């Protein structure tokens, strides 16, 4: 018995994406209540991961979307914790606003400082961005120590990134770092995160690119 061939339409990239989103929307529980902006992020994260747990685990600060769009309109950078995240962010959509994707974790001064201090380069990368006063959007997909340090820098040293998109993956400190971020509704920096161990580059990149598409459409700020 042979399988029926794919329809030629479903071999086209745009048709595959459209069908994927149709399936996602049909399988999302009607019990979930998302705003239109939240839904745009959730469905892209699910599309990138094939994991519907993100419909339950993603958390959005009420000011997250507006903060991101304002930052983009001001030409803010996106700060990536690792090069995999840096590579995945849509440069076309970011450059439309005049921003860059920065990834200081590979800088020589960051590596030297981390060796001297005996901790991770991710920590030193966050400290470098804070010293420079970079008010870009921080996207953390892999390094829990980057997120933990970023939260500390916000709360204790006055760093003010425009938004923290923190979704590191892993078994050591990943869930804890995201829980700390999610508890910070009184902090001056809005956030998007997910609870638990899951996360990673696909989640971070999908969410960041969804935010960029929303911002290009001008949908986060009304009037």
Q: Would you please indicate which residues are annotated as catalytic (active-site) residues?
A: 47
Using CA atoms, how far residue 96 sits from 62, 146, 165, 207, in Å, is 25, 27, 20, 18
Residue whose C-alpha is closest to residue 98's, from 116, 129, 122, 73 = 73
Number of other residues whose CB lies within 10 A of the CB of residue 32 = 12
Q: What is the C-alpha separation between 194 and 210, in angstroms, rounded?
A: 15
Tokens of 63: 């000011």
Please list, in sequence order, all residues whose beta carbon lies within 8 angstroms of the beta carbon of residue 197, skipping any fewer than 6 positions away. Answer: 169, 170, 171, 174, 175
- Terminus-to-terminus CA distance in the chain, angstroms? 58
């Amino acid at each position: 018995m042979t399988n029926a061939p794919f329809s030629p339409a479903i071999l086209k990239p745009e048709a595959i994406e459209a069908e994927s989103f149709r399936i996602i929307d049909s399988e999302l529980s009607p019990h979930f209540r998302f705003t239109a902006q939240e839904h745009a992020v959730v469905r892209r994260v699910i599309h990138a991961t094939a994991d519907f747990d993100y419909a339950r685990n993603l958390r959005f600060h009420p000011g997250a979307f507006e903060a991101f769009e304002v930052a983009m309109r001001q030409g803010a950078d996106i700060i990536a914790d690792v090069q995999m995240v840096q590579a995945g962010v849509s440069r076309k959509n970011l450059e439309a606003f005049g921003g860059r994707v920065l990834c200081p974790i590979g800088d020589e001064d960051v590596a030297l400082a981390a060796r001297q201090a005996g901790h991770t380069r991710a920590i030193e990368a966050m400290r470098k961005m804070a010293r420079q006063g970079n008010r870009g959007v921080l996207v953390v997909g892999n390094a829990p120590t980057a997120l933990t340090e970023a939260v500390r820098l916000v709360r204790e040293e006055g760093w003010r990134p425009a938004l923290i998109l923190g979704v590191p993956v892993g078994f050591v400190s990943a869930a804890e770092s995201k829980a700390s971020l999610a508890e910070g509704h009184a902090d001056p920096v809005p956030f998007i995160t997910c609870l638990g161990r899951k996360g990673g580059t696909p989640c971070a990149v999908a969410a960041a690119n969804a935010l960029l598409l929303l911002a290009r459409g001008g949908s986060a700020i009304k009037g």
